[in-house]
DNA sequence: GTGATAACCTGGGTGC
DNA sequence: TGCACCCAGGTTATCA
């Protein structure tokens, strides 16, 4: 599932092919992609548009177009952008034809992904500010800021760091990996973390995301690079998707539970359970 | 205001 | 082999 490192990988790979090019043709095959806007007017508006830059905010891929317009693409769980594939794969939802003869396909088996065109005059920054907290690699991201935002919160820390309004770009994989690196149980109340734990967590989030970017993302299900290749961060997972396997630090078997409605992987020794039981219902599921 | 949950969607896994 | 059912998860809307 594409999170910040996967989206950043796509951006870096696609930008050289896309920036400066004009969209000669745009075919939106799945009307859901642009909801609540109807797809055909969006496709018509995109035809002839010049892509000035390809940017990223959180998990959004932002196509900055001429005329102060922005196409915000979100891959959600199974979306992928493929540059010039040899043949058209199943579940192709959008076809972009470039003025140099190449093409880009948006493919999404589960159809969760979205594409929103913000026309001239729409405040792209305000749109993103309403949905996204600080970028982990930005100066605004710090243990102090996180601690301040979490003050009084009783929700589990995992739910807190998955909330894109708190931290932009962290999804289920990097949440589990970060919490393990920081030695924090996912059920611990966000507002109950100590300053030292916030410092460890902030550092762990940056570390996990940076490793993910270096490895060009994780390919455990559908994620593919723009050329169809796979990322390699799944080979570096410490806990995620490793239920039943030994913890890389202490050897205790990794456990899979459910926290905040998400499959959650942790080491019960390195991430001790909080003394007071959190309100969130958890369920032990089969390990391995 | 906060937290929990359902809904969206479909491929893959499991059980019969 | 084929069918039915369940699970996975990012975001949004809805409810308590």
pLDDT tens profile A104-124: 999 988 888 899 999 877 778
Q: Does A248 contact strand C, using a CB cutoff of 7 Å?
A: no
pTM of the model: 0.91
A2 as an active site residue: the answer is yes
Q: Does A114 contact strand C, using a CB cutoff of 7 Å?
A: no
Question: Lowest mean pLDDT: which of A8-12, A62-66, A255-259, A279-283?
Answer: A279-283
Structural contact between residues A197 and A27, judged by C-beta atoms closer than 8 angstroms: no
Q: pLDDT at position A16, please?
A: 96
Calculate the angstrom distance between C1' of B7 and CA of A250.
40
Mean pLDDT of A138-152: 92
- For residue A74, whether the previous peptide bond is cis, meaning omega lies within 30 degrees of 0, is no
Protein-nucleic contacts, chain A 259-278 to strand C, CB < 7 Å: 262-263
Calculate the angstrom distance between C1' of C2 and CA of A256.
32
Structural contact between residues A69 and A132, judged by C-beta atoms closer than 8 angstroms: no
A274 as an active site residue: the answer is no
pLDDT digit string, tens, across residues A2-55: 899 999 999 999 999 999 999 999 999 988 898 888 889 999 999 999 999 999
State how far the Cα of A69 lies from the Cα of A221, in Å rounded to an integer.
33
A59 as an active site residue: the answer is yes
What are the beta bridge partners of residue A50?
A22
> Which nucleotide is the nearest neighbour of A91, by CA and C1'?
B10
Distance of CA A25 to the CA centre of its chain: 28
Q: pLDDT at position A221, please?
A: 64
> Which nucleotide is the nearest neighbour of A76, by CA and C1'?
C10
Share of residues in chain A with pLDDT > 90 (%)? 58
State how far the Cα of A132 lies from the Cα of A134, in Å rounded to an integer.
7
Q: For residue A263, with 0-12 CB atoms within 10 Å meaning exposed, 13-18 middle and 19 or more buried, which class applies?
A: middle
Nearest one of A186, A172, A184, A198 to A262, comparing CA atoms: A172
Confidence check: pLDDT of A285 > 70:
no
pLDDT digit string, tens, across residues A183-225: 999 999 999 999 999 999 999 999 999 999 998 888 776 667 7
State how far the Cα of A8 lies from the Cα of A5, in Å rounded to an integer.
5
Q: pLDDT at position A222, please?
A: 63
Q: pLDDT at position A236, please?
A: 83
Structural contact between residues A4 and A168, judged by C-beta atoms closer than 8 angstroms: yes
Structural contact between residues A199 and A141, judged by C-beta atoms closer than 8 angstroms: no
Nearest one of A149, A167, A162 to A57, comparing CA atoms: A167
Confidence check: pLDDT of A282 > 50:
no
Confidence of residue A90 (pLDDT cuts 50, 70, 90): confident
State how far the Cα of A236 lies from the Cα of A214, in Å rounded to an integer.
11
Phi/psi-derived region of residue A141, left when phi > 0, alpha when psi is between -120 and 50, beta in every other case: beta
Q: Does A226 contact strand C, using a CB cutoff of 7 Å?
A: no
Calculate the angstrom distance between C1' of B9 and CA of A196.
41
> Which nucleotide is the nearest neighbour of A153, by CA and C1'?
B2
> Which nucleotide is the nearest neighbour of A262, by CA and C1'?
C9
A216 as an active site residue: the answer is no
Whole-number average pLDDT of chain A: 87
């Amino acid at each position: 599932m594409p999170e910040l490192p996967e989206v950043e990988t796509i951006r870096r790979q696609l930008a050289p092919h896309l920036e400066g090019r004009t969209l000669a043709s745009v075919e939106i095959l799945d009307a859901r992609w642009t909801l609540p806007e109807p797809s055909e007017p969006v496709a018509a508006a995109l035809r002839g548009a010049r892509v000035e830059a390809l940017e990223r905010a959180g998990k959004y891929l932002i196509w900055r177009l001429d005329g102060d317009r922005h196409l915000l693409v979100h891959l959600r769980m199974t979306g992928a952008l493929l540059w010039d594939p040899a043949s058209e794969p199943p579940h192709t939802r959008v076809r972009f034809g470039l003025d140099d003869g190449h093409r880009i396909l948006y493919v999404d088996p589960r159809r969760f992904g979205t594409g929103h065109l913000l026309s001239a005059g729409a405040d792209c920054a305000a749109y993103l500010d309403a949905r996204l907290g600080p970028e982990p690699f930005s100066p605004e991201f710090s243990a102090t800021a996180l601690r301040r935002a979490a003050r009084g919160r009783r929700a589990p820390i995992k739910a807190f760091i998955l909330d894109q309004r708190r931290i932009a770009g962290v999804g289920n994989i990097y949440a589990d990996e970060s919490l393990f690196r920081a030695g924090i149980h996912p059920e611990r109340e966000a507002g109950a973390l100590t300053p030292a734990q916030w410092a460890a967590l902030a550092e762990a989030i940056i570390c996990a995301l940076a490793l993910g970017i270096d490895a060009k993302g994780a390919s455990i299900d559908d994620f593919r690079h723009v050329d169809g290749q796979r990322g390699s961060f799944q080979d570096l997972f410490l806990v995620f998707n490793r239920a039943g396997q030994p913890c890389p630090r202490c050897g205790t078997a990794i456990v899979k539970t459910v926290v905040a409605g998400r499959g959650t992987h942790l080491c019960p020794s390195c991430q001790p359970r909080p003394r007071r039981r959190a309100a969130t219902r958890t369920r032990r599921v089969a390990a391995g």
